Amino acid sequence: MPTIAATIIQILAEEIIGGTLAPGSKLEEKVLAERFQVSRTPVREALREMGARGLIELIPRHGGVVANIGIAELADMLEAECELEALCAQLAAQRMSVVEKKQLERLHEQTEALVKGQDEGEYLTLNKKFHDVICAGTHNQTLSGMLRGLRDRLSAFRNAQAGTERRLAVSHEEHGAVVEAILASDGAAAYAAMRNHDARLSTKVLDRLRDSRHERTAPRTERPAAAHLHST
Amino acid sequence: MPTIAATIIQILAEEIIGGTLAPGSKLEEKVLAERFQVSRTPVREALREMGARGLIELIPRHGGVVANIGIAELADMLEAECELEALCAQLAAQRMSVVEKKQLERLHEQTEALVKGQDEGEYLTLNKKFHDVICAGTHNQTLSGMLRGLRDRLSAFRNAQAGTERRLAVSHEEHGAVVEAILASDGAAAYAAMRNHDARLSTKVLDRLRDSRHERTAPRTERPAAAHLHST
DNA sequence: GATGAATTATATGTATACATATTGACATCA
DNA sequence: TGATGTCAATATGTATACATATAATTCATC
């Protein structure tokens, strides 16, 4: 039997990652305690752990809010994700076993039908699986763990925005290039293909955020020395 | 005034990273509570956060122990560190401002004296600073945060072992190559130099661990499919 | 009517008390 | 002798109670 705190973490994390709990939402201990019919103790521990994971922001004596990412931070996270994921793709290409490759190939084929059917919801599920399989393919728990943690944090934010990605076909095609490179055990090609894929999505996400922020509130001046994103 | 839990985290983390608390040490809430003259509550919260950070292992109903890294995990972490650090060096080369570069250069020069004087203790301090400056030079908080977290976890482990690095001169020379590349804004060279540096250290750390484990206890068979470390 | 100080209210931080699961010892039995 | 099961001891998990800092409200004053 898992501990109550662990259960709460799982539920809240899913809600944050899934977008039910929007970034900026306040998380009050008392409210959560009542909701889960438990005392504040396990709730506090859950919040603390989620804070350490970066899913929520935890300010002393002010409680927690679902991590609301500024434009500068988002740019950082997207860049890190892009680099990490490309690296993982490269390692996966070099290390995946035959059965792992087969699994990846099948997954990609299954997705094809969803693209034609424009089934966005199911597509996103398989999309997550796709990246997870590649993570596992690195045979490096540290790297894959870091990437997945980062993806979770970003996911929380992506899902809070409207439609995630209209043109499924383009994404699918880019995935195809990654799959092909991995099946051919071509690390460099896998790296390049994945980097290209993520970089394109990143600019889209950033653009959309910039637009939506511009309408409502002035952008927070968080990091004056702007990064030269993807200048490589 | 920081919270008690935060204070405890800082103290314990330092002890773990510094090697005072050796990997495998049990961390009992009651003992810690008595030591810090506080109740178990803040201690528990501290432990939980450190668990999320990976500094300690936290098993439900069994309490926490300072993270004791197996050979397979260590290999994973070292590989991740190597790749991340090389990436950061590359970005730093591309993005560091003039003053940041100057700072890095000065730091490297200061270290030179310590190498000649064989002052290991002080060298390690500046060594950490050296890597921190490069982290900052990426202008990417996400990446640098991940790398620093990883370095902390590894540091806990490195310091538990005997002498960290005998041949300071070699290390210093390798650092020199990194500095040179960064000052020249040569991303590729910085990447290669840092990767070379970390890869060499990694094999040394792994070898030493393998030896020490072989003497005492049989290696845990944790990940049957061994990674092809640094096969790129 | 607006501003600001003082007071009340509330949420978080910490301490204590209780519930429950695990560990170890000891006894019993095959 | 060794294995197993019961019981006591103890550590963790959870709940409740108290302390304190922040927020919200009130009320007085300008």
At B193 the pLDDT is 97
Q: Please state, in angstroms and rounded to a whole number, the distance separating the CA atoms of residues A200 and A173.
A: 13
> Is residue B33 exposed (0-12), middle (13-18) or buried (19+ Cβ within 10 Å)?
middle
- Domain spans of chain B? 4-66, 71-216
Q: B50, B198, B52: which is closest to B134 by C-alpha?
A: B198
At A219, the pLDDT band (50, 70, 90 cuts) reads: very low
At B158 the pLDDT is 83
Task: Measure CB to CB from residue B73 to each of A139, A141, A227 and give the nearest one.
Answer: A141
Residue A66 or A213, more confident: A66
- Which tokens hold the place of B3? 């919270």
Q: How many CB pairs under 8 A join A and B?
A: 91
Complete DSSP assignment for A59-73: ETTTEEEE----HHH
**Chain A residues inside the 8 Å CB shell of B61:** 3
Mean pLDDT computed over every residue of chain A = 88
The top-level CATH class assigned to A71-216 is mainly alpha
At A164 the pLDDT is 58
CA atom of A60 to C1′ atom of D28, Å? 34
**Tens digits of per-residue pLDDT, B11-28?**
999 999 988 999 999 999
pLDDT for A187 beyond 90: yes
At A211, the pLDDT band (50, 70, 90 cuts) reads: confident
- Chain B closest-CA separation from residue A165 CA (Å): 24
A210 three-class SS: helix
Residues of chain B with pLDDT under 70: 1, 161-166, 213-232
Region A178-195 average pLDDT? 97
Q: B111, B115, B109: which is closest to B126 by C-alpha?
A: B111
Residue A117 or B196, more confident: B196
CA distances from B60 to B22, B146, B150 (A): 21, 26, 24
Which of A148-157, A164-173, A218-227 has the largest mean confidence? A148-157
CB-CB under 8 Å, B228 with A80? no
At B117 the pLDDT is 84
Largest CA distance in chain A: 54
CA distances from B37 to B12, B32, B43, B128 (A): 15, 8, 10, 32
- Chain A closest-CA separation from residue B112 CA (Å): 31
Q: B38, B37, B45: which is closest to B9 by C-alpha?
A: B45
Complete DSSP assignment for B13-38: HHHHHHTSS-TT-EE-HHHHHHHHTS
Dihedral sign for Cα atoms in the order A99, A196, A19, A32:
positive
At A167 the pLDDT is 78
At A230 the pLDDT is 33
Q: Please state, in angstroms and rounded to a whole number, the distance separating the CA atoms of residues A118 and A55.
A: 30
Q: Please state, in angstroms and rounded to a whole number, the distance separating the CA atoms of residues B77 and B150.
A: 7
pLDDT for A112 beyond 80: yes
Nearest nucleotide over every DNA/RNA strand to the B44 CA, judged by C1':
D12
Least confident stretch, A51-55, A219-223, B70-74, B192-196: A219-223
Percent with pLDDT over 90 in chain A = 71
The CA-based angle B157-B163-B166, given to 5 degrees, is: 125
pLDDT for A210 beyond 80: yes
Q: Please state, in angstroms and rounded to a whole number, the distance separating the CA atoms of residues A205 and B130.
A: 34
At B137 the pLDDT is 98
At A163 the pLDDT is 59
CATH number of A4-66: 1.10.10.10
Q: B114, B209, B111: which is closest to B162 by C-alpha?
A: B209
Q: List bases in chain C with any atom under 7 Å of a protein Cβ.
A: 11-17, 21-23
Residue whose structure tokens are 């072992």 = B161
At A121, the pLDDT band (50, 70, 90 cuts) reads: confident
Q: Please state, in angstroms and rounded to a whole number, the distance separating the CA atoms of residues A158 and A128.
A: 13
DSSP 8-state assignment for residue A230: T
Q: Please state, in angstroms and rounded to a whole number, the distance separating the CA atoms of residues A179 and B224.
A: 25
At A162 the pLDDT is 58
At A168, the pLDDT band (50, 70, 90 cuts) reads: confident
What residues contact B43, with CB distance under 8 A and at least 6 apart?
B5, B8, B29, B32, B33, B36
Nearest nucleotide over every DNA/RNA strand to the A43 CA, judged by C1':
D14
CB-CB under 8 Å, B142 with A76? yes
At A82 the pLDDT is 97
At A214, the pLDDT band (50, 70, 90 cuts) reads: low
At A117, the pLDDT band (50, 70, 90 cuts) reads: confident
- Identify the helix (H) or strand (E) that includes residue B156: helix B141-160
The CA-based angle B20-B22-B24, given to 5 degrees, is: 155
Residue A10 or A214, more confident: A10
pLDDT for A6 beyond 90: yes
